[in-house]
Structure 1
């Protein structure tokens, strides 16, 4: 059931919800929006109708307009948005403290609003929420990497792990997690339309929001390879379903470094058609 409801005292019959419905299932017969029962299965579950109604008259799936955040007057200005995007850094120095559980949950709840192919919205956020767990995982992975190096070496194409392993053994440089207290692995079912892009978009949303509230992040390719390619049995231990594609891993936490300004990259490579 879609639970599509119209507040008749607020509805003006403007038809905006019907015009904006990407599935085209909202009817205006009788002047009041409705969704015939035989059209309900065509719903994309996008909530465009709730979001677009200028009179705040539409509710769907039990979601009411007064529970949503208003958009006019509340969006960041273009300069602030540009500064956030240009100023994002890959943080490799972190404070040795956990994020508060409520704060961590808010980061994830915001990130889950990322768009997904065909509005699948099936990304799974696997989170290590405690620094002690990260230290234990790091030590286990380092021991496994050392054992692999001693018993025949790394698989073809992953020989570069030898260099990073040496950095750990000789200098105690944590190349896997960079000392971050938390790790986020985003995965999605392999049978949906766009599992990997969905994961990457969700991580981008997470990163930008995290940076806006002072949390550092780093796209963790080495951890991704270690979990997904070198030691795939860890997937099950981390609770990642067997039918899921891992999009990427991201280490994060409160940074031990603050950057003072944006960097300056070359202009975008653009080809106009």
Structure 2
């Protein structure tokens, strides 16, 4: 764990001890220490580092002075509301390739995406080359055509059989001519594999517009993977990992000028009655 305490900075407030989700710290002589018999329970969440008001605590070799200060720089509530209300699923993309550095900047904050038990057992497969995207696109439609001809498409996915013909006519109904794709995969036997991947993609979905990018949750591509085994195989995932969902992205070829207006989802407020 490499827990280090700067004695000149530590004020002995005990916040790190109180906030540790698995209780591996104790306050001894006014300084936090690791309880030896609980050390193996650490989930590497770094809560102790984040909650320290004086940046006195370092763990796993992380320098607290290199962490961003909070709440400095956080968006206002009205800004977040507009971002959420204004997001759109983009189905018209420019062919331009997004610069790798711009993609990396959007991906970097996803390292903080929460996961069940902080397991972090996810693999991100990025298609950052439009030529590779085109190859994957062709693999998809060819595979669907073979599956349709071999009567290997389940009835509930029968509509996928129509896509290869549309592709032959120049219409990419699955990938919408997007230049890039992000596939998030997780260990099937992890504590919360699907939720972990959807949380990460949701965060990517919200970050993308701040970089001028549009996104599309691509259910058709995810469904195609169930029919064309070559598609998940092409991702070259480690053993035990399964692709959970696909997101397309790139520069949008469309601009939306206002939010839509929708009714809120039903909200049921739980009330428990005593026995």
**TM-score bucket (shorter structure):** over 0.9
Give the Cα separation in 1 of the matches to 2:160 and 2:231. Answer: 18
- Native 8 Å contact 2:217 2:247 kept in 1: yes
* Superposition CA RMSD, Å: 1.4
Q: Tell me how many residue pairs correspond in the alignment.
A: 270
CA offset at residue 153 of structure 1?
Answer: 5.9
More displaced 10-residue stretch of structure 1: 190-199 or 147-156 = 147-156
2: CA distance between counterparts of 1:18 and 1:130? 46
SS at match of 2:53: coil
How far apart, in 2, do the equivalents of 1:19 and 1:243 lie? 36
Query: Structure 2 residue aligned with 1:186, among 184, 195, 201?
Result: 184
Asked if residue 226 in structure 1 is aligned to residue 224 in structure 2, the reply is yes
CA distance in 2: counterparts of 1:240 and 1:6, whole angstroms: 40
Match of 2:14 in 1: 15
Asked if 1:95 corresponds to 2:94, the answer is yes
Summarize the alignment of residues 157-168 of structure 1 with structure 2, pairs less than 5 Å apart: 157-168=156-167
Q: 1:233 to 1:145 in 2, by over 3 A?
A: closer
Contact 1:197-1:247 at 8 Å conserved across structures: no
Counterpart residue number, 1:199: 197
Q: Distance in 2 between matches of 1:56 and 1:268?
A: 42
1:36-75 residue CA offsets vs partner (Å, 9 max, x unmatched): 3332111121111100111111111111211111112211
The alignment's TM-score, normalised by the length of structure 2, stands at 0.94
1:150 & 1:45 partners in 2: Cα distance?
50
Q: Quick check: 2:102–2:211 contact (8 Å CA) kept in 1?
A: no
Counterparts of 2:173 and 2:115 in 1: how far apart (Å)?
A: 31
SS of 2:33 mapped into structure 1: coil
Q: Is the 8 A contact 2:2 2:60 kept in 1?
A: yes
In the alignment, structure 1 segments of 5+ residues that lack a partner are none
> Which stretch of the first structure deviates more once superposed, 209-218 or 35-44?
35-44
- 1:206 Cα shift? 0.8
| 1:97–1:13 CA distance, 2 compared to 1 (3 A) | same
Query: In 1, distance between residues paired with 2:184 and 2:247?
Result: 9
Q: Which residue in 1 is equivalent to 2:255?
A: 258
1:245 matched residue in structure 2:
242
Give the structure 2 partner of residue 28 of structure 1. Answer: 27
Structure 2 residue runs without a partner (length 5+): 271-275
Partner residue in 2 for 1:48: 47
Q: Which residue of 1 aligns with 2:168?
A: 169
TM-score by length of 1: 0.94
Structure 1 runs of 4+ aligned residues shifted over 6 Å read: none
Which region of structure 1 is more displaced relative to structure 2, 110-119 or 144-153? 144-153
The 1-side partners of 2:138 and 2:242 are apart by 25
Q: Distance in 2 between matches of 1:175 and 1:239?
A: 25
Find the aligned partners of 2:111 and 2:216 in 1 and give their Cα distance. 18
Is 1:57 equivalent to 2:46 in the alignment? no
Other-structure match for 2:265: 268
**Of 153-162 and 207-216, the range deviating more from structure 2:** 153-162
- Report how far residue 176 of structure 1 moved: 1.6
